[in-house]
Copies of this chain bind each other. A is one copy, B any other.
């Protein structure tokens, strides 16, 4: 029963599940970014046709799942599980977005690491023989996140230089026991890591230690290093967090400068769009993965990719009560071709 485990946090999948279909949706700012061509849908309307921003976020999840099913020629009834969550209190973006599908559902909370967590668990459920097809997805919305975590957008609060921009975006990935790839070969489950950062406007610094912890665990368990991947992509650490991870590895003598980037650096033009430290939110890594990254793998741009979304496990209440900000990061290794494992 223990043969699939490779170290404390990593499992090697015995029958690597395949990406069967994927889709993403973005808002106006995402459409003005460098990855705009990699979106299935871009909406200039932040309400997505609904009355409130929260309902708009739910609409994104509903639409992105519908789109991923369509692209894969699948129906909701063929999915054995959907695994999803979001940043909203009680994950209402997910519950209301998915209620009309009637698919067996496990709700997740991994903060902005949710795309990594949902993808990990979907892969494990398939490899374990419990599912033939499973969907992994998440969303975030600039306006719902701002009013929940900071200030309602119309207040026009000044943003600090370390602040990141919560993506208005959603991504969905359908995995299957069969398929033409890319394939999920390894899953590294993160641990909660808290280095005592208390600045709620500096998520990158809070989450970077978790990314470092998970990537290090992954490299150790799989006896690999940065040189074994064509691309390593963390979740939404942004400019500062990406630099911290690079520095931490440098102290270990590991060079991350050649092929390491971050979804928060990829989604927007940082200067031109006035994005400060970069993108954030569950939808940031979800949209980048379910568009730019998966298409790149399919089109042969990369052969082996390590995707490691990060999350900050705080709430406004915990910050008001003087708590620091624990982080988490879940990593998934993908291969364009079927590998002997």
Chain A contact residues, CB within 8 Å of chain B:
1-5, 8-9, 11, 14-15, 51-52, 54-55, 80-81, 85, 87-92, 95-96, 98-99, 101-111, 117, 120-121, 124-132, 177, 189-194, 313-318, 321, 323, 326, 328, 330
For the complex with contacts A90-B111, A102-B192, A106-B121, 8 further pairs of A-B residues with Cβ separation under 8 Å are A4-B128, A5-B130, A8-B80, A88-B315, A89-B315, A92-B315, A99-B193, A106-B110
Q: How far is the CA of A130 from the CA of B121 in the complex (A)?
A: 11
Q: How far is the CA of A3 from the CA of B129 in the complex (A)?
A: 7
Copies of the protein in its oligomer: 2
B104 and A189 contacting across the interface, CB-CB below 8 Å? yes
> Which residues of B lie under 8 Å from residue A104 when comparing CB positions?
8-9, 189-191
B109 and A107 contacting across the interface, CB-CB below 8 Å? yes
* Central interface residue in A51, A321, A330, by most chain B CB within 10 Å: A321
Q: How far is the CB of A252 from chain B (nearest CB, A)?
A: 19
A90 and B54 contacting across the interface, CB-CB below 8 Å? no
Q: How far is the CA of A164 from the CA of B232 in the complex (A)?
A: 49
Option from B106, B190, B313 in Cβ contact (under 8 Å) with A108: B106
A190 and B8 contacting across the interface, CB-CB below 8 Å? no
> Which residues of B lie under 8 Å from residue A85 when comparing CB positions?
109
Q: Select from chain B the residue with minimum beta-carbon distance to A177.
A: B1
Q: How far is the CB of A122 from chain B (nearest CB, A)?
A: 12
> Which residues of B lie under 8 Å from residue A189 when comparing CB positions?
81, 104-106
Q: How far is the CB of A241 from chain B (nearest CB, A)?
A: 18
B321 and A105 contacting across the interface, CB-CB below 8 Å? no
Q: Select from chain B the residue with minimum beta-carbon distance to A97.
A: B192
